[in-house]
Structure 1
Amino acid sequence: MKLSSTFTLLWVGIALGQQVPECSRELAATDDCADVINANACYNQFRFRDNQTLSCIGGTDNNARAKKACKCCGCVGKVMCDWVTQQRFQC
């Protein structure tokens, strides 16, 4: 019983740690989020598959693009946030 409780607490902690920020007007107005939001046509082309989607986002390298995707996925929508979670980026 104790092991089950420990596992549940660990799972909840992990799930809460992966929450994405809400998209506020201030966040959406940043250059980082503009790079993520403006790539919608590219996302539609790749249908959120693999790292091709990451290449849609402006940035110096994949780490920079991943940080932007984590920070701003809420400004694109649930499908983007789900993709970020599936990719297991270090947000």
Structure 2
Amino acid sequence: MKLSSTVVSLWLALVLGQQFPECTRELAATDDCADVINANACYNQFRFRNNQTLSCIGGTTNDERALKACKCCSCVGTQMCNWVTQSRFQC
């Protein structure tokens, strides 16, 4: 019983802790989201496995890239938002 309550607690923390904006036409048209969306080929190369994926996103610092990833991950897809969550970026 303790294991299942731990799993449920972890799941709730992930679900409630990371809320990503819905990808609207307006959001996808921003320069920030273009930097995230246009990097699909780079994401495929790294397969969202390591921190190299962050370098795919245009930006001058990793903090700036992480913020763009948080803001626009839903425009790329679920795998991108999962990677953002697992990477524990401060969104």
TM-score tier, shorter chain, comes to: 0.7 to 0.9
Q: Distance in 2 between matches of 1:14 and 1:87?
A: 12
Report sequence identity in percent.
80
Q: TM-score, normalised by structure 2?
A: 0.84
Displacement over 6 Å in runs of 4+: none
> Is residue 17 of structure 1 aligned with residue 17 of structure 2?
yes
Q: Look up the equivalent residue of 2:62 and give its one-letter code.
A: N
Does the C-alpha gap of structure 1 residues 14 and 80 become closer, same or farther in structure 2, counting only changes over 3 Å?
closer
Q: Which runs of 5+ in 1 are unaligned?
A: none
Match of 2:40 in 1: 40
Does the C-alpha gap of structure 1 residues 14 and 32 become closer, same or farther in structure 2, counting only changes over 3 Å?
same
Q: TM-score, normalised by structure 1?
A: 0.84
Count of residues in Structure 1 that have an aligned counterpart in Structure 2:
85
Match of 1:53 in 2: 53
Q: Look up the equivalent residue of 2:33 and give its one-letter code.
A: C
Q: Distance in 1 between matches of 2:85 and 2:27?
A: 20
Q: Which runs of 5+ in 2 are unaligned?
A: none
